[in-house]
């Protein structure tokens, strides 16, 4: 069982222990991380910006990939929101994660092939290319698998820390547990910071039991149509972690919510240039003629507008190109990001307790739609080479470096 000894603590028991102050932070994320956050937060109040301090000590900003830190100009083209290769909602339904079993190598091989195909689609001088892997904690995020795919394909992968939201499933029970524990916000922020600065959690252990040395390079947040309490909690932790480290935040939105997210982040002191409001281009903008106005308001706050479902359903290439063109024409070229939000494998029977590796479902995914079809659709509309370079290469590099 994936839950190990965590499952032996009932929710009621846990709350009682919390109230009595008997559950140490180490039970959830490790004492040192949450203690560090408390110390750092006190420091932040007494200084201008912790981000400035971090920047001053580490030199020029770097991008944190799963294979280590690299200079931003090494990335080439970047797809800003993908799931290579897995998504598994099991733990959100309080059931064990699906085993990878003997399918593991075949699934990795297919991901490597897809990434090589992506690299081959890139214009000269914009390779090897990178993808931001937006699968949150315990939803099919396997740091060792990401490192292996990157090593074998040469495509840079930036992994994320952060819990998902409640738009299509329950909040992850680990995040719920933190949200009701004493000092839970600092513990959650501590977990995010630990994943960014030391390494991501290893899902082979119980929650927070083991960590890899593979670091996250972005923080994921997700909201339902309205920010639910558990989502607000995770957004606040993300804001603390971003202010502490300078790490960018990328969001999932559901039929709106982007302005509410950025309001929370900005009020928490997050650098607007490090905020990416995702899943724009359809329902997020209220699906009406005022879509451009919505995008322009996000960009007007200094945040990034991400069209990251290019080619899916209503997010047709032509429609996305039209909406991007509006932002280009209103002077926001530097705040546009693109991607597909595609996964190669999902586990459909997430609610079952008994799972087998054979039941992973292969999904059709083409990671070249942005770099080939969208690029052409934008060029056909008069978007010049310098602006295309900004959207596909320069903007991601600037946003991802910290
Ligand atoms: Zn996604």
- 335 Cα: distance to centroid of ligand 1 (angstroms): 19
* CA dist., res. 214 & res. 207, Å (int): 17
- 253 Cα: distance to centroid of ligand 1 (angstroms): 10
* CA dist., res. 108 & res. 19, Å (int): 45
Q: How confident is the model at residue 10 (pLDDT cuts 50, 70, 90)?
A: very low
Q: How confident is the model at residue 56 (pLDDT cuts 50, 70, 90)?
A: very low
- 10 Cα: distance to centroid of ligand 1 (angstroms): 31
- 133 Cα: distance to centroid of ligand 1 (angstroms): 8
What backbone phi and psi angles, to 5 degrees, belong to 296? -70, -30
| HSE-up (13 A, CA, CB side) for residue 14 | 20
pLDDT for 71: 97
| Residue 37 in this model has a pLDDT that exceeds 60 | no
Q: How confident is the model at residue 28 (pLDDT cuts 50, 70, 90)?
A: very low
pLDDT for 51: 44
- 22 Cα: distance to centroid of ligand 1 (angstroms): 37
- 16 Cα: distance to centroid of ligand 1 (angstroms): 36
- 80 Cα: distance to centroid of ligand 1 (angstroms): 10
- 29 Cα: distance to centroid of ligand 1 (angstroms): 25
pLDDT for 340: 98
- 164 Cα: distance to centroid of ligand 1 (angstroms): 10
pLDDT for 35: 53
Give the number of other CB atoms < 10 A from CB of residue 389: 15
Residue 60: both structure tokens together: 């020029």
Asked which of 44-48, 206-210, 313-317 is least confident by mean pLDDT, the reply is 44-48
- 83 Cα: distance to centroid of ligand 1 (angstroms): 6
Higher pLDDT, 11 or 363: 363
- 38 Cα: distance to centroid of ligand 1 (angstroms): 31
Mean pLDDT of 85-106: 96
SS3 of the chain: CCCHHHHHCCHHHHHHHHHCCCCCHHHCCCHHHHHHHHHHHHHHHHCCCHHHHHHHHHCCCCEEECCEEECHHHCCCEEEEEEEEEECCHHHHCCCCCCCHHHHHHHHHHHHHHHHHHHHCCCCCCCCCEEEECCCCCCCCCHHHHHHHHHHHCCEEEEEECCCCCCCCCCCHHHHHHHCCCCHHHHHHHHHHHHHHCCCECCCCCCCCCECCCCCCEEEEECCCCCCHHHHHHHHHHHHHHHHHCCCEEEECCCCCHHHHHHHHHHCCCCHHHEEECCCCCHHHCCCCCHHHHHHHHHHCCCEEEECCCCCCCCCHHHHHHHHHHHHHCCCHHHEEECCCCEEEECCCCCCCCCCHHHCEECCCCCCHHHHHHHHHHHHCCCCHHHHHHHHHHHHHHHHCC
- 52 Cα: distance to centroid of ligand 1 (angstroms): 31
SS3 of 52-102: HHHHHHHCCCCEEECCEEECHHHCCCEEEEEEEEEECCHHHHCCCCCCCHH
Q: How confident is the model at residue 59 (pLDDT cuts 50, 70, 90)?
A: confident
- 329 Cα: distance to centroid of ligand 1 (angstroms): 28
Least Cα distance to 231 among 164, 284, 141 occurs for 164
| Residue 272 in this model has a pLDDT that exceeds 60 | yes
- 366 Cα: distance to centroid of ligand 1 (angstroms): 15
- 81 Cα: distance to centroid of ligand 1 (angstroms): 6
| Residue 255 in this model has a pLDDT that exceeds 90 | no
| Residue 97 in this model has a pLDDT that exceeds 60 | yes
Could you state, in order of their start, the residue ranges of all structural domains in the chain?
4-400
Mean pLDDT of 78-97: 96
| Residue 46 in this model has a pLDDT that exceeds 50 | no
pLDDT digits (tens, 9 = 90+) for 165-204: 999 899 999 999 999 999 999 999 999 999 999 999 999 9
pLDDT for 292: 87
- 135 Cα: distance to centroid of ligand 1 (angstroms): 7
Mean pLDDT of 296-310: 97
Mean pLDDT (the chain) is 87
Architecture of domain 4-400: Alpha-Beta Barrel (3.20)
Least Cα distance to 337 among 353, 351, 350, 320 occurs for 320
Higher pLDDT, 256 or 326: 326
* CA dist., res. 308 & res. 370, Å (int): 9
């Amino acid at each position: 069982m994936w839950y190990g000894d965590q499952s032996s603590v009932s929710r009621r028991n846990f709350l009682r222990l919390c109230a009595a102050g008997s559950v140490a932070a180490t039970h959830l994320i490790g004492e040192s991380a949450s203690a560090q956050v408390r110390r750092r937060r006190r420091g932040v109040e007494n200084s201008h910006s912790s981000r400035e301090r971090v920047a001053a000590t580490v030199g020029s900003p770097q991008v944190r990939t799963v294979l280590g830190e690299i200079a931003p100009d090494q990335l080439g083209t970047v797809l800003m929101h993908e799931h290579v290769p897995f998504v598994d909602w099991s733990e959100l339904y309080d059931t064990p994660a699906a085993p990878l079993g003997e399918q593991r190598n075949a699934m990795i091989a297919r991901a490597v092939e897809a990434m090589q195909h992506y690299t081959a689609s890139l214009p000269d001088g914009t390779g090897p290319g990178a993808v931001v892997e937006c699968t949150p904690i315990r939803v099919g995020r396997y740091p060792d698998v990401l490192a292996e795919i990157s090593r074998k394909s040469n495509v840079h992968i930036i992994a994320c820390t952060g819990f998902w939201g409640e738009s299509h499933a329950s909040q992850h029970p680990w995040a719920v547990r933190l949200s009701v524990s004493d000092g839970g916000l600092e513990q959650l922020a501590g977990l995010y910071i630990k994943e960014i600065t030391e390494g991501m959690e290893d899902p082979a252990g119980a929650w927070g039991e083991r960590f890899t040395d593979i670091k996250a390079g972005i923080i994921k947040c997700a909201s339902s149509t309205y920010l639910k309490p558990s989502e607000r909690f995770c957004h606040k932790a993300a804001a603390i972690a971003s202010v502490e480290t300078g790490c960018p935040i990328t969001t999932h939105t559901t039929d709106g919510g982007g302005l509410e997210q950025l309001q929370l982040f900005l009020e928490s002191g997050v650098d607007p240039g490090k905020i990416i409001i995702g899943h724009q281009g359809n329902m997020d903008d209220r699906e009406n003629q005022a879509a451009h106005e919505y995008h322009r308001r996000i960009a007007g706050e200094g945040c990034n507008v991400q069209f990251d479902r290019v080619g899916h359903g209503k997010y047709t290439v032509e429609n996305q190109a039209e909406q991007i063109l509006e932002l280009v024409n209103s002077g926001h070229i530097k705040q546009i990001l693109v991607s597909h939000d595609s996964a190669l494998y999902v586990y459909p029977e997430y609610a079952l307790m008994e799972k087998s590796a054979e039941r992973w479902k292969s999904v059709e995914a083409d990671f070249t739609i942005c770099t080939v079809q969208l690029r052409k659709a934008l060029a056909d509309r008069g978007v010049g080479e310098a602006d295309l370079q900004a959207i596909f290469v320069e903007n991601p590099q600037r946003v991802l470096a910290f």
